[in-house]
Amino acid sequence: MSQTTHANEEIHGAHSGDAPHAATRGEDAQADAALGDPLGDHAHGAPLGPIDWYAWGAGLLGIAAGLVVAACFYISTSL
């Protein structure tokens, strides 16, 4: 439970210092539809950051290594 209701019906955070929560999903969906954002992705053409070539290279190298290991298992079990 992230919110508690007190006698005066004001919604307070569950812990002191908590920030109030945003609107419920239903209200967000209505606002998105009204603003012309039916999918609710909030992207609005924001530019992406630069491509991290070292990370992509490491990922591709890991996939290649996994395929080599899988091929070795296949060859060793098919003999």
Residues 6 and 28 in one domain: yes
- Rounded distance between C-alpha atoms, residue 78 and residue 57, angstroms: 31
pLDDT digits (tens, 9 = 90+) for 29-65: 555 556 565 555 566 677 788 999 999 999 999 999 9
Considering the entire predicted model, what is its pTM?
A: 0.42
Residues 33 and 55 in one domain: no
Residue 15 lies in a domain: yes
Residue 19 lies in a domain: yes
Residue 44 lies in a domain: no
- Rounded distance between C-alpha atoms, residue 22 and residue 36, angstroms: 20
- Count of domains observed in the chain: 2
Question: Which residues are registered as beta bridge partners of 33?
Answer: none
Instruction: Name residue, tokens 């296949």.
Output: 74
Residues 55 and 34 in one domain: no
pLDDT digits (tens, 9 = 90+) for 4-17: 555 665 665 566 66
Domain range for 18 is 1-38
